[in-house]
C-alpha cells in the first residue's frame, strides 16, 4: 500500500512497507516474535514435556503432531523476521531478501478449529498454538504489504485508469488487500 504525500508542486508516493520496515513498529513485531519462539522452546523443554507424559495414548500422538507443527510454524516466522531485520540493518539487499523469502513457507496448517480433540491438549500448548497463529496472520499481512512494490502500485494505477483521488486510493487498497 502507498500514500501520496503532496508538496507544493509535486506528489511523492510512499510505500507503507518501506516505512514500516524501518520503523520502531517493526522492532516491536520482531521482539514479540522472537519472545514467542523462546517461550515455546522453554515450554516444550520443561512444563510441556511433563504435561505430555501425563496424556493418554490417542492424545500423546496429537500432542506430538501439534508441537511439531507449532515448532515448524515458529521457525518459518522467525526466518521471515530475521530476513526482514537483515534487510533493515543493511546486511542483505532487496534481491537477496527476495531469494531468501521464497524459501520461507508461511503455511497455516493445523488451525485449532480443524483439529479433532484439540481441547484435550494441555492449555499451555493450546495458548502457544493460538499465539503463533495470531503472529502468523499478522506476518502474512505484513508480508503482502511489504512485497507490494512501487512498480506494482504504478502498474495497477496505469491499468485501472483512475483519475479521481478516491478511485486512486481504492485501487491502492484493492492492490494491497487483494480485493
Q: Which has the higher per-residue pLDDT, 148 or 151? A: 148
Radius of gyration of the chain (CA): 20
In a domain, 90, yes or no: yes
In a domain, 31, yes or no: yes
Express each pLDDT in 59-108 by its tens digit. Answer: 999 999 999 999 999 999 999 999 999 999 999 998 999 999 999 988 87
Express each pLDDT in 108-143 by its tens digit. Answer: 777 888 889 999 999 999 999 999 999 999 999 998
Domain interval for residue 125: 24-148
Domain CATH number, residue 55? 1.10.8.930
In a domain, 168, yes or no: no
Q: Give the predicted TM-score (pTM) of the model.
A: 0.73
In a domain, 13, yes or no: no
In a domain, 109, yes or no: yes
In a domain, 170, yes or no: no
Closest by CA to 133, choosing from 64, 28, 36, 26, is: 36
Closest by CA to 88, choosing from 21, 144, 27, is: 21
In a domain, 163, yes or no: no
Query: Total domain count for the chain?
Result: 1
166: Cβ–Cβ under 8 A, 6 or more apart, which residues?
none
Mean pLDDT of 31-45: 98
Cell of 5: 504525500
Tell me the percentage of the chain whose pLDDT exceeds 90.
56
In a domain, 11, yes or no: no
Amino acid at each position: 500500500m502507498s500514500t501520496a504525500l503532496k508538496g507544493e508542486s509535486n506528489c511523492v508516493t510512499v510505500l507503507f512497507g518501506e516505512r514500516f520496515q524501518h520503523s520502531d513498529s517493526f522492532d516491536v513485531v520482531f521482539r514479540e516474535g522472537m519472545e514467542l519462539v523462546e517461550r515455546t522452546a522453554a515450554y516444550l523443554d520443561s512444563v510441556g514435556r511433563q504435561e505430555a507424559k501425563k496424556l493418554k495414548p490417542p492424545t500423546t500422538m496429537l500432542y506430538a503432531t501439534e508441537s511439531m507443527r507449532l515448532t515448524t510454524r515458529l521457525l518459518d516466522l522467525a526466518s521471515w523476521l530475521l530476513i526482514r531485520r537483515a534487510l533493515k540493518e543493511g546486511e542483505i539487499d532487496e534481491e537477496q531478501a527476495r531469494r531468501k523469502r521464497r524459501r520461507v513457507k508461511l503455511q497455516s496448517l493445523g488451525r485449532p478449529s480443524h483439529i479433532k480433540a484439540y481441547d484435550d491438549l494441555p492449555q499451555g500448548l493450546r495458548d502457544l498454538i493460538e499465539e503463533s497463529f495470531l503472529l502468523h496472520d499478522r506476518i502474512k499481512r505484513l508480508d503482502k504489504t511489504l512485497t507490494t512494490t512501487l512498480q506494482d502500485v504504478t502498474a495497477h494505477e496505469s491499468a485501472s485508469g483512475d483519475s479521481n483521488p478516491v478511485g486512486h486510493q481504492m485501487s491502492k487498497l484493492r492492490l494491497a488487500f487483494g480485493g
